[in-house]
Amino acid sequence: AENTLNYIQREGHLLIDDPDIPDIPVDFRGRHVLVVVRGVDYKKDLQLLRRSGYLKEQRPLLVGVDGGADAIMDLGLTPDVIIGDMDSVSERALRCGAALVVHGYTDGRAPGADLLDQLGVPYAVFASAGTSEDIAMLLAFERGAALIVAVGTHSSMVDFLDKGRPGMASTFLVRIKVGDR
């Protein structure tokens, strides 16, 4: 809780300011967006979305957060966007044609960019103090998504307060901001 309060004091602008989101060639306006993170129950949730007909009927934009891109591809689908520090995503996914967004630090460093430079694939950098799943949700929200559906993401009080992860405070703030979607 203390971590979250400190983060709010430092990064509270996330709630009210428009973040500097990179321009990518994907139109989110009015669309459902499925954000996939390889977290708790992500495989079960993806199968449920498939069996329910949601994926076929809504045809959401597919956003893979790092290895979440591979989870999307394991379903036989292709991610529209891959976001993260690129440390747990396969080269196959990175070359699938998705728009690539490297999670950069606020000091300008973007370690995942080195790999993408080596592969020779185009990318944009999104600098944020938050987590990669946070910037995936902010990107969808700020670009006008009608609904954000997330699987494998952090969502419980245990996730936000008990994990001892500094990045969880930003996740709490982002969820407040995008909560109506």
Query: How many helices (H) and strands (E) would you count in the chain?
Result: 10, 6
Provide the 8-state DSSP code for 163: S
pLDDT over threshold 80, residue 154: no
Count of CB atoms situated within 10 Å of the CB of 122: 9
pLDDT tens-digit map of 60-116: 999 999 999 999 999 999 999 999 999 999 999 999 999 999 999 888 899 899 999
CA distances from 141 to 8, 18, 32 (A): 19, 11, 10
